[in-house]
Chains A and B, each alone.
Chain A
Amino acid sequence: MMAQVAEILLVEDNVDDVELTLHALRQEKLANQIAVARDGEEALDYLFQRGAHAQPSPSPQLKLVLLDLKLPKVDGLEVLRQMKADERTRNIPVVILTSSKEERDVVQGYKLGVNSYIQKPVDFEQFRETVKQAGLYWLLINQPPPPPG
């Protein structure tokens, strides 16, 4: 599932959610290359080129990370914290895309420097619309920071 040169990194443990999100993104033709990490550890490995992702240089053109919060091994907020703490990943826009809109999660997310917080709507039409809007904004409208180095 892991694409080598991706514009979007989707961090999501649930296969159904992965499929629905990919479906929505592809339907809107927003991204050709989407990398998927199935837990927090895999996401960090991908981002920091460790473990299985040690060799090939990752995407300097990674434009967006869609991050679920409730993840096996390392949870979403921890992934976010490490991303924002590291020079190499700090500038990559991160959108939390999760089922919960618990206040403490929202507060904590923004405290750690998340760029956007979106609750996944239950209704698929709305979900698709939401993913589309987020993708449109972050990939097309938003001016990304120049690549580091």
Chain B
Amino acid sequence: MLNLRDYSIRKKLTWICMLTSGAVLVLASAAFLAYEWTAFRGELLARLSTQAQIVGSNSAAALLFQDQPAAEQTLAALKAEPEIRAAAIYNREGRLFASYSRPGAQAESSLPRVAGLQADRESFEGGNLVLLRQIVQNGEGLGTVYIQSDLQGMGRRVRRYVVILLLILGASFLASFVIASRLQSLIAQPVLELAETAKIVSQGRDYSVRARPGNRDEVGLLIETFNQMLAQIEERDVELGKGREQLEQRVEQRTAELAATVKELEGFSYSVAHDLRAPLRHISGFSNMLAEQYGPSLDPNAQRYLERIQNGARQMGMLVDDLLNLARIGRQEMRCQATGLNSLLDEVLADLKPEADGRKVEWRIGRLPFVECDPSLMKQALYNLASNALKYTRPREKAVIEVDARVQEGVTVIVFRDNGVGFSMKYADKLFGVFQRLHRPEDFEGTGVGLATVQRIIHKHGGRVWAEGELDKGATFYFTLEPADQKSSHDKISTGAMATHDGTSS
């Protein structure tokens, strides 16, 4: 069968028309043929029945008087009916009394044997109509008439009908094809045009295109709705464009504002760096000169005050430097490369050597991974954490500081643990704030910027930093970093170095 579904609308419509008209014609012809067939049979039966009646009544006398030739003569009159192949008359006992057969037909052999009087009956057997009629006179059965007729006439007629029907069928098929081909454009054309428009819109993203308005039927309605939809989309498109433009403008404006603010801030920190440090240097310088040149002639109190002045200036100098450092880290561009934390930490420990002088300090350094980071920033963070640990373990006879790495839920966590004075978890959230200190300055010196700097560096690297501690039991600092790659650092030393050569972004 043809797969109608995938045909074009033109073809579909044509086929539907042709199939419909064809089916109607075939059905009508079949009904007509069936009617003709039954009508012809009835007609034939009625005609033969009449003939048998006539033969019967004409041969009643011949049967009574045993006049066989007369009966034969009566039967011979049947040759006027060409369909009758054979006929016979049987007497009361069922013996053949007279017979007739159409010239050229072998009647004798096909005549049935009959026993006694037969009841009236007719039947179609083997393409023949067989008819039996009793010969009755004055209520008494004298014998039986037998007529056998073929259906050649009927066949001829049916054949003629079929030929005519086929001719009609062909002609109307042709006619319906022509008509359907003409009429399908009424439906198909607007649909095809609509499809073409939709294609143009979809390919060109041009929502200003409109489909040609159609008739006032469903397709016309579809086109109208389609055009309305296009209008809505076009409208929304324009609005969207406007919104985007506004957004871009706003982003531009904000960026400019932000750039201005950053510039201002930079100018501010530059001024702080230059102008704030100068007077401090003068305080320090001249108080020092005062102490050197006139110290001996000053009383002890005055000397102490001078010392306080110098300490104050020194402290403020450190504060300014640390703050500037923090600000610089904030805006400094990251220059990331695969870096071995172990070698960075080694450098840090070398730098810190003077601070650990004369103290018992045990460093327990584990295997640290290679990470993608800015080495100078990361060194600063490690330095701050290590020097913190060193500072707060000072009261201990023996300081134990562990640095190790572990992988937790796929993230590398670096751990700094010391056995120092620790802190109360109550204040854990204050640890990383600028100028937040949990110890008195006379116990532990410092500016309160170190851990804020650590946090800023770790955040800049997309990591997280937190701390756990217990008063007098030590503190543990954690931070997370993205590993340089997933494999362990130890078999990656050479590739790590290569990644640096490849010039990861600068």
Q: B-facing mask of A109-149, CB < 8 A → 1, else 0? A: 00000000000111111010000000000000000000000
Q: Which of B281, B317, B332 contacts A17 (CB 8 A)?
A: B281
- Docked pose: A122 CA to B277 CA in angstroms: 6
The residue on A at minimum CB distance from B280 is A122
From 40 to 79 in chain A, residues with beta carbon under 8 angstroms from any chain B beta carbon are 69-70
Q: Which residues of A contact B282 (CB under 8 A)?
A: 16-17, 20
Stretch at the interface among B283-291, B350-358, B408-416: B283-291
Q: Does B314 contact A (CB under 8 A)?
A: yes
Identify which of B270, B280, B310 contacts A100 (C-beta below 8 A).
B270
Query: How many pairs, one residue from A and one from B, have CB atoms within 8 Å of each other in the complex?
Result: 63
Is A108 engaged at the interface, CB distance under 8 Å to the other chain?
Answer: no
Q: Which of A69, A99, A103, A124 contacts B278 (CB 8 A)?
A: A99
A52 to chain B, nearest CB (A): 27
Residues of A within 8 A of B284 (CB): 122-124, 127
CB-CB nearest in chain B for A17: B278
Query: Given A122-B280, A124-B284, A124-B288, does the pair A101, B273 have CB atoms closer than 8 Å?
Result: yes
CA distance A50 to B309 in the complex (A): 44
A42: shortest Cβ distance to chain B, in Å?
A: 19
In the bound complex, residues from chain B placing their C-beta under 8 Å from that of A124 are 281, 284-285, 287-289, 310
CA distance in complex: A45, B282 (Å): 28
Residues of chain A within 8 A (CB-CB) of B431 are: none
Known: A23-B289, A99-B278. A122 touches B273 (CB 8 A): no
Pick from A100, A103, A120, A122 the residue with the most CB of B within 10 Å: A122
Which B residues from 248 to 298 make CB contacts under 8 A with A?
270, 273-275, 277-278, 280-282, 284-289
Q: How far is the CA of A122 from the CA of B314 in the complex (A)?
A: 7
Report the minimum CB–CB distance from A17 to chain B (whole Å).
7
**Chain B residues whose C-beta falls within 8 Å of the C-beta of A17 in the assembled complex:** 278, 281-282
What 0/1 pattern do residues 1 to 31 of A give for CB contact below 8 A with B?
0000000000000101100100100000000
Q: With a CB–CB cut-off of 8 A, which chain B residues contact A100? A: 270, 273-274
Q: Is the CB of A120 within 8 A of B277?
A: yes
B313 at interface, CB cutoff 8 A: yes
A102 interface hit (Cβ, 8 Å): yes
| Chain A proximity of B276: nearest CB distance (Å) | 8
**A33 partner residues in chain B, CB cutoff 8 A:** none
Task: Kindly state the separation between the CA atoms of A101 and B270 in the bound complex, as whole angstroms.
Answer: 9
Contacts of A20 in B (CB 8 A): 281-282, 285-286, 289
Within residues 302 to 329 of chain B, which ones have a CB less than 8 A from any CB in chain A? 310, 313-314, 316-318, 320-321, 328
Q: Would you call A122 and B320 a contact (CB within 8 A)? A: yes
Does A82 belong to the interface (CB within 8 Å)?
no
Q: Which residues of A contact B314 (CB under 8 A)?
A: 122-123
CB within 8 Å of A: which B197-228 residues: none
Q: Which of B274, B281, B285 contacts A70 (CB 8 A)?
A: B274
Q: Which of A85-110 contact B (CB under 8 A)?
A: 98-103
A15 to B314, CA, bound (A): 21
| Contact of A99 (CB < 8 Å), options: B273, B288, B313, B332 | B273
Return chain A residues, CB-CB under 8 Å to B313: 122-123
Cβ contacts A to B, 27 pairs, < 8 Å: A14-B278, A16-B281, A16-B282, A16-B285, A16-B286, A17-B282, A20-B281, A20-B286, A20-B289, A23-B289, A99-B273, A99-B275, A99-B277, A99-B281, A100-B274, A120-B281, A121-B281, A122-B277, A122-B280, A122-B313, A122-B314, A122-B316, A122-B321, A123-B317, A125-B288, A127-B281, A127-B284
Q: Can you add 15 more A-B contacts, CB < 8 Å, to A122-B314, A124-B287, A127-B284?
A: A16-B285, A17-B281, A20-B281, A20-B286, A23-B289, A70-B274, A98-B274, A100-B274, A102-B273, A120-B281, A122-B280, A122-B316, A122-B320, A122-B321, A124-B285
A residues near B (Cβ < 8 Å) are 14, 16-17, 20, 23, 69-70, 98-103, 120-125, 127
4 closest Cβ pairs, A-B complex: A122-B317, A124-B288, A20-B285, A16-B282
